[in-house]
Amino acid sequence: MHTAAGESPGGPRYGDHVDLRGGRFYGPVSLGTPPPQPPPGPDVLSALPAAPVGFTGRETELAALLRGLRPPDGSAAPGPARPWAVTGLGGIGKTALVLRAAHTARDAGWFSGGVLFLDLAGYDDAAVSPASAVASLLYALGVGDAHLPSKEVNQHALYLSRLATLADEGRRVLLLLDNVREAGQLPPLLPGSGAHRVVFTSRESQPSLPVRELALGPLSPRDSTALVTEALEGDDRLEREADSVGELTALCEHLPLALQIAAALLRRHRSRGRVASLVEELRSGHRLAGTLHSPGVDQYGRPLALAPVFEASMSRLPDGRARALCLLARIACADYDTDTAAEVTGLPAAETLDVLDDLACAHLVTRDEPGDEGRERWRLHGLVRSYACARDAADPGTAAAAHTARARVRRYLARRAEECDRHMPFPVHDPSPDAVRRREAALAWFDAEHANLVAAVLWPEDDEPEARVRLALSLAGYLRWRRFFEDWIAVGRTARPLARRLGDERAEAAVCNELGAALSRGGPSHEAIEPLTRAAHLFRRVGDPTGEGMAWNNLGLAQRRSGDPGAALATHTRARGRFRDLGDRWNEGRAQHNMGLALSAVGRDAEAAEAFVLAGELHRGHDRIYHGDSLSSLGWALYLGGRTAEAVTALQEALRIRREYDNWYATGLTGSNLALALEVAGRSAEAAEARAEADVACARAGTRAIVYGHHH
């Protein structure tokens, strides 16, 4: 301020009259009694709750967060620091992770200015407003009532000023903001200096803000068990009932809050005895998310109950999103691609994608990266599914909508499975690049939808028998190729009475044939004989000689595997005659091959080898995969007959063919047989190489390297 005329050299005294006419001012001026100045802040601020007790897992996430909080080295100028957002489903352990990181950082001396923690209560009935948050943080910074400006804008300016002063003094501050509900809560609270660090938690992603997001998923099974063990330290039930503890953590879907509630229930009901009792109680409950509650509060005063946490998240959803979530929950799919989800919601795919994006931002569904088929997939956490299913259980409108959605999904899956099944024949039937690509795409779709396709046949609703039978038949070829025998049997057993109810004898014959084939390969073989005999009878009645011959061929396999190779040889001979009369060389070759298997089973190895040679001739140049089958079986028959050198030659050629396709089971077992033959031939080094390759292939197929199974 320039001195006004007539001013005494000593300057004005407070209360004196000063003539300021003509003066020029730079910055604020105060005359009269000066306002009270805020007292100096504490040397080190500390508003950090206690570290979480029993924190387990999260090593990767904790390391990432600590890297973000670590002070920069001396060569790096502090630039704008992006806040860290720790997001995830309610109860996933966001606050525990943030507090663990904060205590570690504080103890390491990274924040000499202190640590501030504020719960913004975003999911309570009354969230903390930005203005109230600023006032609370000012109190933490040492600004009490007497020094707090009355206007919010001045409070905000003072807040930024105090943080700037600390930054100028080289004193970094860590600001933790818990339970942020929406992006608008954050900007007024962010420091103006890049020296400080901000971490906030939210049940929702905040895509409008430039933040580093750390999204949390469920714990691993090992870490879930560790959490329960830590919470029940010294409880001898854990060691006695290790299996039940594993079942308990699985029922809790590895959600930390659910695990804490389960531990509290075990502490509360210690007198009731076994962990298995709680497991049974939770498993038998129709509302698992509602069952998981315990009196009292946790370490931070929060209720031990899941349902209110999930309800708070669902009540925040935009219009229609909660309904979509409830429908998705009621359709018992393991996961969904966007097209399947569109069938559930009844919306166009583009609108469904918007819905799924909103649900993913709320962490009520999880978006998986596109797999081999190039499509995104979406999953519900099991406890979210449980809660969403129970939320409107008494509403008849919701039940009716779910029933309609389930029918849409089943019909859609049946259509797609039929389309993909048409492209499943082996490439030898059409080796063109386009056909191979179509087959690979069909296999990728079946692989991605495998669990959902099986479930859609097995859903217990007694309706839509036609769609369920169509789906079962379209799925059979894939299940056979991938050797999913249990699923193949379950699908066949479900579809058989449905086909009979339809009165469609051709469909019933096809289902019986597939069921028998599945039982002969993966179930009690003797149980396959009845449905295969029924299939042959029905195919004859509907005038389908090819189907009848295929049923006989499968029946012969079941007879051999049931311990009656003589009957099997007769049945395969009959099937071969039928196919020969029809001029069907492909199926004739299959029957010829199976005759060789029956001959080998009764020790007639020389005749078996001749049968396999004939089968190979029928398939040579016509079906390379079955030609490989015949060579593999021929090699084993020659090995059993002591013709080792010839056996090695046949098995090596068979293995070359096996490698061309993704049938790892056949590749592994043929390689195993080759290793045995090479060992007998004295070619140990080659045998070791063949055995190592066989072990890898069998591991990929989920089996073990043993002698080729058809011969035993």
Distance, in Å, from the CA atom of 555 to the CA atom of 568, rounded to the nearest integer, reads 7
Residues 6+ apart with CB under 8 A from 133: 118, 120, 177, 185, 188, 189
Banded pLDDT at 41 (limits 50, 70, 90)? very low
Beta strand pairing call for 45-46 and 114-119? parallel
DSSP secondary structure code for residue 3 in this structure:
P
Q: 699 lies in a domain?
A: yes
**195 and 153 share one domain:** yes
Q: What is the mean pLDDT of residues 542-546?
A: 96
**51 and 85 share one domain:** yes
Can you give the pLDDT at residue 663?
A: 74
Length of the chain: 712
Q: Is the pLDDT of residue 1 over 50?
A: no
Q: What is the mean pLDDT of residues 414-435?
A: 80
Q: Is 484 left (phi over 0), alpha (psi -120 to 50) or beta?
A: beta
Banded pLDDT at 505 (limits 50, 70, 90)? very high
Distance, in Å, from the CA atom of 167 to the CA atom of 164, rounded to the nearest integer, reads 5
Of 375 and 376, the one with more pLDDT: 376
Q: Is the pLDDT of residue 451 over 60?
A: yes
Can you give the pLDDT at residue 270?
A: 60
Can you give the pLDDT at residue 427?
A: 54
The total domain count for the chain is 5
Q: What is the mean pLDDT of residues 376-383?
A: 89
CA 149 vs. chain centroid, Å, equals 52
Strand partners, 173: 114
Q: 16 lies in a domain?
A: no
User: CA torsion 410→412→418→420, rounded to 10°?
Assistant: -120
Write out 263-287 in H/E/C secondary structure: HHHHHHCHHHCCHHHHHHHHHHCCC
CA 13 vs. chain centroid, Å, equals 75
Q: Is the pLDDT of residue 447 over 70?
A: yes
Can you give the pLDDT at residue 9?
A: 41
Residues 6+ apart with CB under 8 A from 284: none
Q: 455 lies in a domain?
A: no
Of 615 and 30, the one with more pLDDT: 615
**122 and 189 share one domain:** yes
Can you give the pLDDT at residue 17?
A: 44
CATH code of the domain containing 55: 3.40.50.300
**259 and 286 share one domain:** yes
**141 and 190 share one domain:** yes
Tens digit of each residue's pLDDT (9 = 90 or more) over 167-211: 888 899 999 999 998 888 899 999 988 889 999 999 999 888 899
Structure-token pair, residue 651 = 């098995």
Can you give the pLDDT at residue 708?
A: 40
DSSP secondary structure code for residue 347 in this structure:
S
Q: Is the pLDDT of residue 164 over 50?
A: yes
Q: Residue 335 — φ and ψ, nearest 5°?
A: -160, 180
**179 and 62 share one domain:** yes
Q: 226 lies in a domain?
A: yes
Expressed in percent and rounded to 5, the helix, strand and coil fractions of the chain are 60, 5, 35
Single out the residue in 393, 412, 445 at which a domain terminates. Answer: 393
Single out the residue in 339, 365, 393 at which a domain terminates. Answer: 393
**298 and 260 share one domain:** yes
Nearest CA among 231, 310, 210 for reference residue 275: 231
Strand partners, 199: 84, 176
**204 and 241 share one domain:** no
Task: Show the domain range for 284.
Answer: 221-308
What DSSP assignment string belongs to 200-261?
Answer: EEESS--TTS--EEEE--PPPHHHHHHHHHHHTTT-THHHHTHHHHHHHHHHTTT-HHHHHH
Q: Is the pLDDT of residue 36 over 90?
A: no
Banded pLDDT at 31 (limits 50, 70, 90)? very low
**183 and 233 share one domain:** no
Distance, in Å, from the CA atom of 578 to the CA atom of 471, rounded to the nearest integer, reads 29
Rounded (5°) CA angle 157-162-167 = 120
Contact 365, 358 (CB under 8 A): no
Q: 363 lies in a domain?
A: yes
CATH code of the domain containing 571: 1.25.40.10
Q: Which residue has the tokens 């007292």?
A: 39
**543 and 645 share one domain:** no
Can you give the pLDDT at residue 18?
A: 43
**85 and 206 share one domain:** yes
Can you give the pLDDT at residue 77?
A: 54
Of 7 and 537, the one with more pLDDT: 537
CATH code of the domain containing 388: 1.10.10.10
Lowest mean pLDDT, pick from 96-110, 563-577, 647-661, 691-705? 691-705
Q: What is the mean pLDDT of residues 18-38?
A: 44
**186 and 335 share one domain:** no
Q: What is the mean pLDDT of residues 605-609?
A: 91
Beta strand pairing call for 173-178 and 212-215? unpaired
Can you give the pLDDT at residue 45?
A: 61
Nearest CA among 214, 395, 383, 206 for reference residue 309: 383
Q: 697 lies in a domain?
A: yes
Q: Mean pLDDT, the chain, as a whole number?
A: 85
Q: 173 lies in a domain?
A: yes
Tens digit of each residue's pLDDT (9 = 90 or more) over 465-501: 999 999 999 999 999 988 899 999 999 999 999 999 9
Banded pLDDT at 146 (limits 50, 70, 90)? low
Distance, in Å, from the CA atom of 638 to the CA atom of 618, rounded to the nearest integer, reads 19
Q: Is the pLDDT of residue 689 over 70?
A: yes
Q: What is the mean pLDDT of residues 156-176?
A: 90
Single out the residue in 308, 336, 357 at which a domain terminates. Answer: 308
Q: What is the mean pLDDT of residues 500-510?
A: 96
What DSSP assignment string belongs to 522-560?
Answer: HS-GGGGHHHHHHHHHHHHHTT-HHHHHHHHHHHHHHHH
Q: 420 lies in a domain?
A: no
Can you give the pLDDT at residue 710?
A: 40
Banded pLDDT at 622 (limits 50, 70, 90)? confident
